[in-house]
Amino acid sequence: MDSEPDRWRAAKVGTWVMSISLFFLISFFLAPMTLEEGSVPRLSGRANVFDYYQYEGWGSWGNGNHSGDVGHNQPSEGLFSWTDINFYAAFIYGFGDLNCHQKYERSWVINGNQMPMCARDVGIFLGLAIGGWIFSRYGKNRWTVTDSFLSIFGDSRLHSVYASGYRKRAAWGIGLLAMAPIGIDGFTQMLTDYESTNPVRLVTGLFFGVMLAVLLSAMLSARPSDHQGRPELVSLPAGARFARTPDNESE
């Protein structure tokens, strides 16, 4: 790991983001393979809530007939409860149940079992892993989240941005650019008759995931303590330096 004061934390944080994301990404493909073929039917739940915790009672909304709502007629497809499968698969399918809508038509099937996350979320976690790796290799702790976020592009590419004082505009622009594909694809699908495809969902999720990983890594890496609490010691592109304001905050 790089021992430079602005690199050691960034390398550590980026590695952790990459490792955790890779664990989930691999598990999305591995968990269906640990189950008996065809044991996970076509699912169609809701995001941010448990729908397949059990067959009846709390957390069983997905096992009802919601063909006129946001789901479908689950009894006709076969009932499912992730608490009745092996512990590893249960953890991954439970994670998917809480964080993903698990719509069958937007998901892939492995070993005759629907994956625990939709194609877009698979793309997001792939992007998270890639973004974490990028930050672990090129990210730096530059006191603020904005400057730590931009650090992955290298000082030479950022020279004109810092020389012109457009660092915040650049950070916002990059973030919006990365979110644009997933926003356009998702909202077009929601507001029109357009139906996206799983490859498109994967790619749009990937761009968003990369940006999210770099932003998250920058938030966790930006620490004044690594610079002795002195903003003027932070090395920025184009010879730029932070300056102390009267209230001792950096600009």
Q: What's the predicted TM-score (pTM) here?
A: 0.90
Supply the pLDDT for residue 121: 97
3-state class of 186 per DSSP? Answer: helix
Task: Determine how many CB atoms are found less than 10 A away from the CB of residue 205.
Answer: 27
CA 59 from centre of chain: 25
User: Please, which pLDDT band fits residue 41 given cuts at 50, 70 and 90?
Assistant: very high
Cα dihedral 237, 234, 164, 218 sign? positive
Instruction: Summarize pLDDT for 49-60 with one digit per residue, the tens.
Output: 999 999 999 999
Cα dihedral 170, 173, 179, 180 sign? negative
Q: For residue 69, give every residue at least 6 positions away whose Cβ sits within 8 Å of its Cβ, in sequence order, or none.
A: none
Gap between the Cα atoms of 106 and 120, Å rounded:
8
User: Is the distance from CB of 223 to CB of 145 less than 8 angstroms?
Assistant: no
The token pair at 78 is 């076969």
Supply the pLDDT for residue 233: 75
Instruction: Summarize pLDDT for 73-95 with one digit per residue, the tens.
Output: 999 999 999 999 999 999 999 99
Question: Percentage of the chain surpassing pLDDT 90?
Answer: 72
User: Please, which pLDDT band fits residue 62 given cuts at 50, 70 and 90?
Assistant: very high
The token pair at 98 is 């809480």
Nearest 10 degrees: Cα torsion 151, 157, 158, 163: 160
Gap between the Cα atoms of 180 and 178, Å rounded:
6
User: Is the distance from CB of 116 to CB of 51 less than 8 angstroms?
Assistant: no
Instruction: Summarize pLDDT for 106-115 with one digit per residue, the tens.
Output: 999 999 999 9
3-state class of 164 per DSSP? Answer: coil
Q: Which residue has the higher pLDDT, 1 or 50?
A: 50
